[in-house]
Structure 1
């Protein structure tokens, strides 16, 4: 069985993902902003452990990596947590996955949650300096990060996932995609066998899709990593 970290596991897709992994017998470490959020989710009796930290706060993300490493090297890390609007979009959707990727012991598999909205993202990286980016930009960035890790760390399987427009708190009640299909791909990429391509895929409901062209551009990936290193003061190594 696999040891899997799921960020943003208190609600929505993160909760569904953590529950599905636990039901399959995997050892899940669930992340939430604070203990009350996980306690209210009814998840604690299903998982191996829990870690807490606000992904919008740089030092809390760094500390979170230390908490996570106490469980040993993960077989998979699912970067699920995200916010749709507000001042924390860049921090939560892009910077936190980057910091955790840089600080955690490298897992066997990495799964980054993207969005179909990344198609409207801008390849202008000025937002890394100003901190003002749209949700669409942040999801383009994290999609490119997943692709960059796939290129730089061939021993680790790194994928990005579009979960679809699902009826979570973020997606809203009018969302038209199936909630179960929204998390099944993450579970499969984290623990499944015979995944092709083994790394570097952009997935929607277990089928590969074409990401934003910038996400596959080696120059853009390099500029993004350099910008993330400058913004966070943390090298990817």
Structure 2
């Protein structure tokens, strides 16, 4: 991901405002293969890149923050994102970062009011017959993405992975090794159907990201 390495935000952008539910819906739409609209980029000429105030995308986002860190563009080719900040920040949080949310009905100043979570996916939940890849109006969440503070326990009928792990396996051979290792987490007497579902979801996630 070239976010915060090549792609940055101009000062005209509003703060990031999405919550965990909106991020989950974005990843769910991507897993369905649905389009998520277009992006608008601005390639900045090298001699002009220091004329604009630029910011980094939020990677480890705390709910309610309104200021992004300033970006240092020295030695970097810079492309500014004019439209697509919410979606790109959400992808960054889900794949490489974290989301810190306030617990309902607790004061923001309280030490136990905040929970830092990462995005996980249960590989044993698949759409089945209710999902039609050609139906772009189908907006029901059907993949099991969830933000969790810690890795969920591997209970019978579940197989959780942290979504960001997939970034480490772009190469097909490395991904095949990762997939084999992940499937070994299934219980020994797991039915073949569970292995098939997990395999399909892992393949779909890998295609979606890479």
Higher helix share: 1
TM-score (normalizing by structure 2): 0.26
State the structure with bigger RCO (CA 8 A, min sep 6), 1 or 2: 2
Higher strand share: 2
TM-score (normalizing by structure 1): 0.24
Larger Rg: 2
